[in-house]
C-alpha cells in the first residue's frame, strides 16, 4: 500500500470536448464531460516519481489516486489545482485521507526534473507525488487518459515556452480504472464530493 506521505492527442469529437478560456496568460484547457460511457480507458501509470518508482498497481485495494497533468512552470491552473487538492484532502477525515494518493504527472519533461517536482509539490503538502517520464511514456498515458497538451513558444518571455493542457482530475484505482473525472474548478467542492462518494462506496 502506498502512503500519502511517502499532445499530444487527437480531438475526439468536438461535441464531447469543452474548450474553456484560460486565466491571465491566455492558457486554454480541454475538459470532457463527466460520466461519459465512451470515455478514455485509463490504465496503468508507471513512472519515475519523487517517491521512487510509482505504479498505480501498487495502490492498496481501498486506495484511490487523484491524478492530474500539468507542469511546474504553469502560471495559473496547476498551482490552483494543487491548492484545490490540498483543500479537498483537508476536508476528509484522517482515515479517508490515508486512502488518497495525489499524483501530478508533468507533461514538461524537458524542464521538470524529479528534483524540481519534489521542490514544487512540497509547497502544497508533503503527500503530493510528482512524476514524469520520457516523451514516449507520456504520449502513451495521455492517449489512454484522453489528455491533450501543446507547447506554445514564447520568445519574448524568460520561460521560452508555456504548455497549454487539459485540466481535469481523475480518480483512479489500482487497476487503472477511472472511477470519476472531475472537471477543473478553483474551489474544492466538486473534488471533495467525488472523493467522499467513492471512499464511502
Predicted confidence (pLDDT) per residue in 69-96, tens digit: 999 999 999 999 999 999 999 999 999 9
76 lies in a domain? yes
pLDDT confidence tier of residue 55, bands split at 50, 70 and 90: very high
Report phi then psi at 160, rounded to 5.
Answer: 75, -40
| Tens digits of residue pLDDT in 99-138 | 999 999 999 999 999 999 999 999 998 899 999 999 999 9
Per the DSSP assignment, residues forming a β-bridge with 160 are 154
CATH of the domain at 138: 3.40.30.10
Total number of domains constituting the chain: 1
Q: Which is it for strands 169-172 and 64-70: parallel, antiparallel or unpaired?
A: antiparallel
Distance of CA 114 to the CA centre of its chain: 16
Q: Which domain holds residue 94?
A: 43-147+166-200
23 lies in a domain? no
pLDDT at 176 over 70: yes
Task: Report the share of the chain in percent with pLDDT over 70.
Answer: 81
129 lies in a domain? yes
Residue 121, class by beta-carbon neighbours within 10 Å (0-12 exposed, 13-18 middle, 19+ buried)?
A: buried
Beta carbons within 8 Å of 103's beta carbon, 6+ residues apart: 45, 49, 54, 65, 66, 67, 68, 128, 129, 130, 131
91 lies in a domain? yes
pLDDT confidence tier of residue 48, bands split at 50, 70 and 90: very high
14 lies in a domain? no
143 lies in a domain? yes
Report phi then psi at 110, rounded to 5.
Answer: -65, -35
35 lies in a domain? no
**The pLDDT of residue 18:** 30
Averaged pLDDT of the chain: 84
pTM of the model: 0.81
Distance of CA 99 to the CA centre of its chain: 17
Q: How many helices (H) and strands (E) does the chain have?
A: 5, 11
| Tens digits of residue pLDDT in 131-154 | 999 999 999 999 999 999 999 998
159 lies in a domain? no
Amino acid at each position: 500500500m502506498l502512503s500519502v506521505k511517502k499532445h499530444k492527442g487527437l480531438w475526439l469529437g468536438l461535441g464531447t470536448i469543452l474548450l474553456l478560456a484560460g486565466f491571465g496568460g491566455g492558457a486554454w484547457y480541454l475538459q470532457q464531460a463527466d460520466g461519459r460511457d465512451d470515455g478514455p480507458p485509463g490504465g496503468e501509470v508507471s513512472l519515475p516519481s519523487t517517491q521512487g518508482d510509482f505504479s498505480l498497481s501498487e495502490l492498496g485495494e481501498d486506495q484511490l489516486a487523484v491524478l492530474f497533468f500539468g507542469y511546474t512552470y504553469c502560471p495559473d491552473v496547476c498551482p490552483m489545482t494543487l491548492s484545490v487538492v490540498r483543500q479537498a484532502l483537508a476536508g476528509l477525515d484522517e482515515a479517508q485521507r490515508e486512502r488518497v494518493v495525489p499524483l501530478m504527472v508533468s507533461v514538461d519533461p524537458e524542464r521538470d526534473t524529479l528534483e524540481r517536482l519534489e521542490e514544487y509539490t512540497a509547497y502544497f503538502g508533503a503527500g503530493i507525488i510528482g512524476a514524469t517520464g520520457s516523451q514516449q511514456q507520456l504520449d502513451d498515458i495521455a492517449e489512454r487518459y484522453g489528455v491533450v497538451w501543446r507547447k506554445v513558444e514564447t520568445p519574448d518571455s524568460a520561460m521560452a515556452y508555456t504548455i497549454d493542457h487539459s485540466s481535469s482530475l481523475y480518480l483512479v484505482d489500482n487497476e487503472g480504472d477511472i472511477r470519476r473525472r472531475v472537471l477543473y474548478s478553483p474551489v474544492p467542492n466538486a473534488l471533495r464530493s467525488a472523493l467522499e462518494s467513492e471512499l464511502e462506496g
